[in-house]
Amino acid sequence: MLSNSTRRSAIVIGAGLAAVALVGACSKSASNGGGGGSGSAGGSGGAQQVQSAPAAAAGAGCTYSKYGAPKLDLKTSTVGFSQSESTSNPFRATETKSITDQAKSLGIKLIQRNANANVAQQNTDIQNMIAQGAKVLIVAPENSTGLAPALNQAKAKHIPVLTIDRTVNGTACSDFIGFIGSNFSGQAKIAADDLAGALKGKGDVAELQGTSGNNVATDRTNGFNAQIKAKYPNIKIVASQTANFDQATGQKVTAQILQSNPNLKGIYAQNDTMALGAIQAIRAAGKVPGKDIKVVGIDGIQQAVQYVANGTMVADVETNPRFGPLAFGALQNFYSSKGTPTTVIIKDHHFTSSNAKQALKDGDVY
């Protein structure tokens, strides 16, 4: 029987997404289990990732032989994990823990590095892990364009790379195995609907954008702007500024936007840490978030969902960071005749005033 957390407002985002593969469903009991299959629960707690199954994913997957890599037994090989940003961000902390816990539960040796939002350092980290004997890599890229030196070295040494949560430039099943993550444009469209609904379809709004140069920020910008343009002619985006997915920067940029736009009614933040910064700036300006200025965010961190529950934020679209089970499941399939899809889109949840309290009670946020 599904828990309350599974019954909350789940959204399958994006055209062409069909039935959801309920492998390792998001019940609290499942989230404490082990196992290494795609979609199975790892040891990180919370609601585990569930794959949304596009119809196009039914074809043959990417295998080690197609990739041109030697066959490995993961349990006798070293896996490298490159984290892009500081684990002071709850998303990154949960993502790292999920990868680490799943490797431990499967008895796989894992080495890992954190680039702390420095793409040059991430190149160095990946190259160092290769030098230390990593035979396959899981990479959470800092951006989509800057990892060519490290990825080229990995390819030259026939070391496969699986990307999670952000994409990289190149050809799937050649330059990298594939990508596991969310439909970022779809998330942004949901956020646009949330904000427009709270504003009753009219008012000036601002957009806090993520770090330039990665597909997440690009897709979350394009999706939001397209949805507003298509459906809400009386909503005007009066400011769109980069705040680098960072709370302090989000606060600073929001303060500047508020000074220039005293009639601002809403803020769309492309991640929750920027949303938290925006709320700080709104309060510092003598306004009430949730009343004077409506705020929506994306990620689903605990503080943001708590804000949704108490009315400080309108809504929050989850980006589930528990990549461990799906990532290692993909690698296991990659080293078999089954293969793994080159694109795996996960099913994210939608936290609103109607379900945020229950999600917090069930421990399904991070």
Q: Measured at the alpha carbon of residue 98, what is the angle toward residues 97 and 104, in degrees to the nearest 5?
A: 85
**CA dihedral over 274, 327, 356, 197, signed as positive or negative:** positive
Of residues 229 and 11, more confidence is placed in 229
Of residues 68 and 55, more confidence is placed in 68
Q: How many residues does the chain have?
A: 366
Averaged pLDDT for residues 302-331: 98
| 10 has pLDDT over 50 | no
Of residues 206 and 59, more confidence is placed in 206
Q: Please give the Cα distance from 122 to 112 (Å, whole number).
A: 11
| 58 has pLDDT over 50 | no
For residues 274-306, b (16+ Cβ closer than 10 Å) or e, as one string?
Answer: bbbbbbbbbeeeeeebbeebbbbbbbbbbbbbb
Closest CA to 187 of 321, 17, 318, 355: 318
Give the alpha-carbon dihedral of 91, 225, 235, 354, to 10 degrees.
-40
**How does pLDDT run across 128-176, given as a tens digit for each residue?**
999 999 999 999 999 999 999 999 999 999 999 999 999 999 999 999 9
Q: Are 225 and 236 in contact (CB under 8 A)?
A: no
**Band of the pLDDT at 45, cuts 50, 70, 90?**
low
Of residues 3 and 66, more confidence is placed in 66
Averaged pLDDT for residues 51-80: 82
**How does pLDDT run across 76-127, given as a tens digit for each residue?**
999 999 999 999 999 999 999 999 999 999 999 999 999 999 999 999 999 9
Q: Are 289 and 65 in contact (CB under 8 A)?
A: no
| 202 has pLDDT over 60 | yes
Rg (CA), the chain: 20
Write phi, then psi, for 284 (nearest 5 degrees).
Answer: -65, -25
| 28 has pLDDT over 80 | no
Poorest-pLDDT segment among 16-25, 65-74, 230-239: 16-25
Largest CA distance in the chain: 61
In DSSP terms, 114 is beta-bridged to 83
Averaged pLDDT for residues 244-251: 97
Averaged pLDDT for residues 361-366: 92
**Band of the pLDDT at 331, cuts 50, 70, 90?**
very high
Of residues 45 and 112, more confidence is placed in 112
Averaged pLDDT for residues 280-298: 98
Per-residue model confidence (pLDDT) at position 129 = 98
Of residues 213 and 293, more confidence is placed in 293
Q: Please give the Cα distance from 252 to 285 (Å, whole number).
A: 12
